[in-house]
Structure 1
Amino acid sequence: MLTMCFIISLLHVIHVFSIYLITGYPPPPAYEEQNKGVSSAYPPPETGYPSQGYAQPGYGQTGYTHQSTTAVVVTQPGYAGQVVAMPRPPDYMIGSIMACLCCFWPTGLCAIYYASQASKLSAEGDMVGATNMANSARNLMITSIVIGVIWIGLVIVLRAIVYADYYSNSSY
């Protein structure tokens, strides 16, 4: 019995020391009873397990009093990694198609390609690659819109100049 108490004490010391090594903090102080010498209005706690209320009459059953000779050491599990759930990035497919049809088609086609790749990568679960492709599709879509607006504005201005010159020189 003395050997078993020694083994349990040694396991406790190893456990406390391992916690100190892992966390870098010393263990908390031992519990000291707060009410030494003060009488309590409550009765002292019972030892052993209470009866379960289903004892059969005449059989003198008592609570469970078996003492185990094995020591159980419970430790916290180690670092298991971290799972990060990323939201599905937008693929900008509709905006890319509209930019291709209405603004500047060469960069619009590239934006459609990158948007489809973003959709494919997000379906495969590669959210980092999908985010990169979606960002490329967005940038190409914006570039297509800007070039398209500049082009349409330039066409309107040049048409106005040409028609103004044409109507000023024509004799009706």
Structure 2
Amino acid sequence: MVLFNLFVEFFKIGLFGFGGGYAMIPLMAQAVREHHWIPQQQFTDIIAIAGSAPGPIATNTALFIGYQTSGVPGALMAAAGNLLPSLLMVLLLIKVITNHARPNVLNRSLYGIHPVITALILYAGVRMGIENELFSQAAEYSQYGIMVLSIILFYKKVSPLWVIGLAGIAGILIYS
């Protein structure tokens, strides 16, 4: 039953998670909370690992959650559920676009979706920050680190890989 639930939930997430992997994180967090698959702290750790691992974050997260829940069969079911809607939609869109090409309508609809995707990504980041107490008196270093790293990424042409690496080193030095 758990394998079926993993497939169905990740299928729904893949079906309605417009905007890529980061926009799917709030939907995944909700599914994890509803089904009590893993603790919230472990989910946050999975997001960090999935974001730094090669490949799409949504697929990586689905694999990790499925594996933590039911081993290899769980990982396969969660990943299949997450990938199948995209595959079906791409096949359908290719058929529709090749038969009824109207690029202006498509471009306008995608332009309207961009702000919603940005809001979903921001929501996921803020919610995870609150749940992990990154926005409290007890985590001053984390707050300052988030602000400094955000400013560096926003204003300077610094690779996110350097920022992630430096943040990891800072975490080891500060919290050891």
Q: TM-score, normalised to structure 1's length?
A: 0.26
Structure possessing the higher radius of gyration over alpha carbons: 1
Q: Whose relative contact order is higher, 1 or 2, with alpha carbons under 8 Å and at least 6 apart?
A: 2
Q: Which has the higher helix share?
A: 2
